[in-house]
Chain A
C-alpha cells in the first residue's frame, strides 16, 4: 500500500467511507437474511425454509460471502471504535447543559450504544443458530432441521423478548445509518436525498417488523 492510500484510510473521511460502505454491505445482507427467513411464513412446516437454509449452508459462493460478511462486521466495529475514541478525545471537557434534542434525533446521537446492543444481540443470535448449524452435526446428521431449531429456541419467552429488543435496536440503527451512509459517500442531492431518506425510513421499519415477526409468530404458534 502506498503512503497515499495509507493516509487516505487513516483520514477522518477515509474511515467514514469504510463505515458507510461496510454499513451498506451489511444492509444488503439483512435483505437476503430477511427474505430466506420469511419462508417460514409459507406455513408449510418449514419445508421451503429448510431448503433455503440448506442452500445457504452448502453453496460455495455463500461460504465465501460469509467470510466477507464477517470481515465487514469486524471492519464496521473496529472503525466505529476508533472513530468513537477520537470523538471522545475531541471534547475532553463536556458541557454542563447540552440540549441535543433541539437539533438532532436521539438515535443519530446513539449509534454507538445501539451498535453495542446489536453486537450483544448478534453474539446471542450466532450462538443460537450459526454455531449450531456450523459447528455441531445436529443439522447435517438430519437429527434436527433449521426450522426445528428455530421453533425450539423461540419456545422461551425471554429469548423472544431479547430478539424483539435486538430488532428494535437494529431498526433505530438503520433509521440513522441507511441515509447517513449515502451522505458519507457524498451522495446528497436536493431532489434525490428526500427519496433516499424515505426509502431508508420504510426499509428500517419493514425489515424490523419482518425480523420481529419471526420469533413472535413461532412463539405464539401462528406458523406451524
Chain B
C-alpha cells in the first residue's frame, strides 16, 4: 500500500532484571501510518516469533488510553512525541518514512526493569496502599444531593482522579520524582468530604512511602505536567505540599 513506512527501531533488550541490557536495532517494513505504535510492535514481534527469536516484552492492556500500562520511552519522551496520549494512542503517522525510533523502558531506581521494556511499577501500588483510599463503609450509594460539594472542588478532584498511574511523570522527570502521581492521589481525596477523616495520616504516610521507594525530589521543572497523558496539573503538587506541611503542623 502506498504511504506505508519503513523504519529503523532501536529497542532496549534486557533478558531479566539482573541481566545487562542493550539497544538492539530492528528494521521494520511496510508499516501503515494508521497503525498504533503498539500494533507496530505486534507486527515486529510476529516477525521475531516466525524467525524463532524471542519477542520483545512490553506492557499493554486496554489499548484505549485508560489503563496506563503501555510504558515506552520513545525518542526521549514518555509515550512518544504527542501530548496527552499514551503509547497505544500514538499512531505511526506521527513519524516519517525512514525515521529511526529509539524505544527504552521507564528509567528509575524505583521502577526496576523486569524484561525488555516492562518495568515493575509496584512502588506506586505500595504508595496507594499507604492511604490512597477511604476506609469508610459506604453502604448503598446515597442521594447525590445529601453531600453538597462545590462544583469547583468536584472538578478539581475529578481532574486529579484522571491519573492512570502510568508513571510517565517519573519517567520524564530529571529526578525520577513521583510527586505528580502522589499529589494527584492525595488531591483527589483531600478535595472531597469523604477524604477528610484520614486526611492528615494520608498526606504523611503516602509521602513517607514515596520517599522510602527511592523516587527523587521535585525541582519544579514542570516536565511531568507536559508529558502526563491525562493532563494532571502541577497545582496538585502545590496542594500536596500544603497538605503535608499542614499535616505536620497539626500532628
A residues in contact (CB < 8 Å) with B: 4-5, 7-8, 11-17, 83, 86-87, 89-100, 102-105, 108-109, 111, 176, 179-180, 183-190
Contact = CB atoms under 8 A, between A and B. Distances in A.
Interface string B41-81: 00000000000000000000000000000000101110001
Contact of B76 (A8, A86, A100): A100
15 contacts: A4-B251, A12-B211, A13-B244, A87-B175, A90-B214, A90-B215, A95-B73, A96-B12, A96-B23, A97-B104, A100-B76, A100-B223, A102-B76, A103-B221, A104-B226
A13 B249 CA distance: 13
Contacts, number: 134
Given A17-B245, A90-B177, A186-B245, A12 B108 contact: no
B220 A176 contact: yes
A90 B110 CA distance: 7
A186 B174 contact: no
A16 B218 contact: yes
Q: Give the size category of B's interface with A.
A: 35 or more
A183 B245 contact: no
Given A17-B241, A103-B77, A91 B223 contact: no
Interface string B21-34: 00100000000000
A104 B235 CA distance: 16
Nearest to A5: B248
A90 B171 CA distance: 11
Given A96-B23, A186-B238, A4 B248 contact: yes
Nearest to A108: B221
A97 B237 CA distance: 27
Contacts of B108: 90-91
Interface of B: 10, 12, 23, 73, 75-77, 81, 102, 104, 107-110, 172, 174-177, 179, 207-208, 210-211, 214-223, 226-227, 234-235, 237-242, 244-245, 248, 251
B172 A90 contact: no
Contacts of A93: 107
Given A11-B208, A87-B174, A90-B214, A183 B221 contact: no
Contacts of A5: 248
Contacts of A15: 217
A99 B77 contact: yes
Nearest to A99: B76
A102 B77 contact: yes
Contacts of B211: 11-12
A102 B248 CA distance: 36
A1 B227 CA distance: 40
A145 to B, nearest CB: 42
B238 A187 contact: yes
B234 A87 contact: no
Contact of A87 (B23, B217, B240, B245): B217
Given A90-B214, A91-B176, A99-B76, A188 B238 contact: yes
